[in-house]
Amino acid sequence: MRNNPDPRTDSHSPSEALVRLGMMVLHSLIAVLAGFQTLLGGIGRMLKYTVQQAVRFFVMIWQNIRFAFEEYNRPMQERLREMRHARKEGGIPLVFEWLRFFGGFIFGENGILRTGFNYVLPVMSVLFLVGLISYGTGLDYALSVTVNGEELGIIADESDFAAAQEEVRKRVSLAGEEVNVSFNPVYTLKIVTENDQYVSPRSIADRLLASSHTDLENAYGVYVDGEFIGAVIDKDAVANRMSAELAEYAVHLDNNVTNVYYTKEITYSEGIYLASSLSEPSELLKKLTASEKQEQTYTVREADSPQLVAAMYHMTLEELQELNPKMSETLKPGTELNVTTSVRYIPIAYTRNMTVTSYINYGSVRVETSALNLGVEAVIAKGELGERTSEVQVEYIDGVEESRTVLSTVITKEPVPEQIGIGTYSPAPASTGTIVRGSGKFGWPVGGGYISDHFGGARRHKGLDIAAPMGTEIYAAEGGTVYRAGWNSGGYGNYVIIDHPDGYRTLYGHCSSVVAYEGQIVEKGQLIAYVGSTGDSTGPHCHFEVRINNICQNPEDYLRVNAD
């Protein structure tokens, strides 16, 4: 027998794990408090240092003022004594001393003018520096771009020149010859004035191409989603024809179409282009309106038919059948079909508003009912699909549905759930006065009736006779497999024998008709026959036997009805 380990010494015990966890939490709290204390100490030292420096500053200012006053006061007192002496003498000496006094007071070493200059000059210098910085920060700056010594203009930043480089590469991409264009810019910072104007990347591209010494023309570049496909002199001839194509396409559509447009953006940019890139409008239009056939797959949806799918992809039914030799007249949802579609270089898209009716699946509810025997489940009321009407906006590209958006939905019919009945009826004698106190292993086999003859007796009766009106239901007393079902020439008439899993067999004789069939698996309480008077019988009843190892037992030992 294994001894339980001592939790005080087991390294993996829950108690030690809790102690370790507690110590970790305590150490973490101590570390946080220590850090907080250090932070407060640092803040205190910083405040102390700041206060000390402020006190030193004010003390220094006060000492400087006192020193200046003392330095200024000593010569002032000396001059005042000389003034008093000259006043006694009077005349010219007095005038001379007065002039000397005021000259020293204003222009002397410690006079007002020199002292003020010493204090005001630093302040004025600081104010001048602040004003200069403010003036400088209020100016607008830009980059002046120079290539091969030629100034191309000013730009906001270097990305404008990079965009111009990309534009040049696009314009020369269709050239059959190498075009020498220099891309070595020199940038200079420049203050922008009211007369200066920024140049666009397109203008820089024009100037760069102009320096390539190649045959150039003023024309319109045609771009599809930013990709350069050629240049034309007459832009309107191309633009008008593309607009007319959209209008002609829309004529063949129904009134529910709300918008017709190209899925790619076509733009026209005026500038300098290589003469070799120029095309006639008709040639460029062929490229813009080109299309090709491509194969793809389509997943069949509800209510699809071969005719509908063929029309959707502008195919004939024969063409669709040729691509799908095994296709039948009825299409199964989820099946993939091979189709062909015309893919344009610039696809045309449109949106259509549609009203679509769809079905809502019903659920199921389970209800108890005495109309079914105990343990039997069956559908007692069929469900009904609901219906809803939706306003849908469908987007098509080259006539093929690409996506759909539901704008609004209204339920026009609520679904009705299917009702599944759960049987609660247990067969029982017609009268509560019929009392049987057996084990209850088997259930009462007749939907009513009474015991008209018991097991054994003088005539060695092999079973229990349950009398009931003709046609009364007979049920399986226990679940099992039907061993025999049909006519018995030995006196039972129409009968049923059921094999039960634990070696028992039950027999039901003299039936008017049999519902069960041999080999059928039945549940307890399931209908198997109807009461009759076939075979050796003098009236309508069910002869009920219980056998084990082919020996008949008293059925009343296995039945329990109306007993406490």
Element (H, E) at 241: helix 235-251
Give me the pLDDT at residue 9, please. Answer: 40
Please name which of 314, 241, 315, 306 lies closest in space to residue 280, comparing C-alpha atoms: 241
**For the CA atoms of 210, 212, 213, 217, what is the dihedral angle to 10 degrees?**
-50
Residue that has been written with the tokens 């294994």 in this structure = 2
Residue 168, phi-psi category: left (phi > 0), alpha (psi -120 to 50), beta (remainder): alpha
> If DSSP codes are grouped into helix, strand and coil, which group holds residue 396?
strand
How many angstroms separate the CA atoms of 226 and 546, rounded? 92
Radius of gyration, alpha carbons of the chain: 55
pTM reported for the whole predicted model = 0.48
Residues of the chain with pLDDT under 70: 1-22, 25-28, 31-44, 46, 49-50, 53, 57, 61, 63-141, 176-178, 180, 182-183, 371
Give me the pLDDT at residue 151, please. Answer: 76
Q: How many CA atoms lie within 13 A of 240 on its CB side?
A: 6
Those residues with Cβ within 8 angstroms of residue 365's Cβ, 6 or more apart along the chain or in another chain:
417, 418, 419, 420
How many angstroms separate the CA atoms of 325 and 327, rounded? 6
Q: How many CA atoms lie within 13 A of 353 on its CB side?
A: 7
Neighbours of 281 (CB within 10 A): 19
For the chain, report the end-to-end CA distance as a whole number of angstroms: 50
Cα Dmax for the chain: 183
Q: Report pLDDT digits (tens) over 124-154.
A: 655 555 554 444 445 566 777 777 777 777 7
DSSP 8-state class, residue 4? P
Chain centroid to CA 24: 41
Give me the pLDDT at residue 372, please. Answer: 75
Give me the pLDDT at residue 239, please. Answer: 94
What class has domain 291-344? alpha beta
Those residues with Cβ within 8 angstroms of residue 237's Cβ, 6 or more apart along the chain or in another chain:
281
Domain boundaries, given as residue ranges, for the chain? 29-138, 141-214, 291-344, 349-421, 428-561
**b vs e for 11-38, b when ≥16 Cβ sit within 10 Å of the residue's Cβ?**
eeeeeeeeeeeeeeeeeeeeeeeeeeee
Q: Report pLDDT digits (tens) over 428-455.
A: 999 999 999 999 999 999 999 999 999 9
Could you tell me if 346 and 264 are in contact, meaning their C-beta atoms sit under 8 angstroms apart? yes
**b vs e for 54-88, b when ≥16 Cβ sit within 10 Å of the residue's Cβ?**
eeeeeeeeeeeeeeeeeebeeeeeebeeeeeebee
Give me the pLDDT at residue 159, please. Answer: 85
Give the CATH architecture of domain 428-561. Distorted Sandwich (2.70)
Please name which of 545, 562, 535, 532 lies closest in space to residue 505, comparing C-alpha atoms: 545
Give me the pLDDT at residue 551, please. Answer: 95
Give me the pLDDT at residue 27, please. Answer: 65
Residue that has been written with the tokens 């610039």 in this structure = 346
CATH of domain 349-421: 2.20.230.10
**Where are the extended beta strands (E) located within 225-290?**
227-232, 257-262, 266-274
